[in-house]
A and B are shown apart, each in its own frame.
Chain A
Amino acid sequence: GQNIDQPTEMTATEGAIVQINCTYQTSGFNGLFWYQQHAGEAPTFLSYNVLDGLEEKGRFSSFLSRSKGYSYLLLKELQMKDSASYLCAVRDSNYQLIWGAGTKLIIKP
Chain B
Amino acid sequence: GAVVSQHPSWVICKSGTSVKIECRSLDFQATTMFWYRQFPKQSLMLMATSNEGSKATYEQGVEKDKFLINHASLTLSTLTVTSAHPEDSSFYICSARSPWNTEAFFGQGTRLTVV
Q: Flag A15-44 by CB within 8 Å of B: 1 or 0 each.
A: 000000000000000010100000011111
> Could you say which interface size class chain B belongs to?
20 to 34
Q: Which residue of A lies closest to B104 (CB)?
A: A97
Q: Which residue of B lies closest to A50 (CB)?
A: B102
Enumerate 22 A-B pairs (CB-CB under 8 Å) in ascending A order: A31-B102, A33-B103, A40-B91, A41-B108, A41-B109, A42-B6, A42-B93, A42-B108, A42-B109, A43-B93, A43-B106, A45-B104, A45-B105, A48-B103, A87-B43, A87-B44, A95-B97, A96-B46, A99-B43, A100-B43, A101-B42, A101-B43
Q: Which residue of B lies closest to A100 (CB)?
A: B43
> Using a Cβ–Cβ cut-off of 8 Å, how many residues does chain A contribute to the interface with B?
17
B85 contacts the other chain (CB 8 A): no
B7 contacts the other chain (CB 8 A): no
* A43 CB to nearest chain B CB (Å): 5
Residue contact A102 to B91, C-beta cutoff 8 Å: no
Q: Flag B75-115 by CB within 8 Å of A: 1 or 0 each.
A: 00000000000000001010001000111111111010000
Q: Given A44-B106, A99-B44, A100-B43, 13 more contacts at CB 8 Å?
A: A31-B102, A33-B103, A40-B111, A42-B106, A42-B108, A45-B104, A45-B105, A48-B102, A48-B103, A95-B101, A99-B43, A99-B46, A101-B42
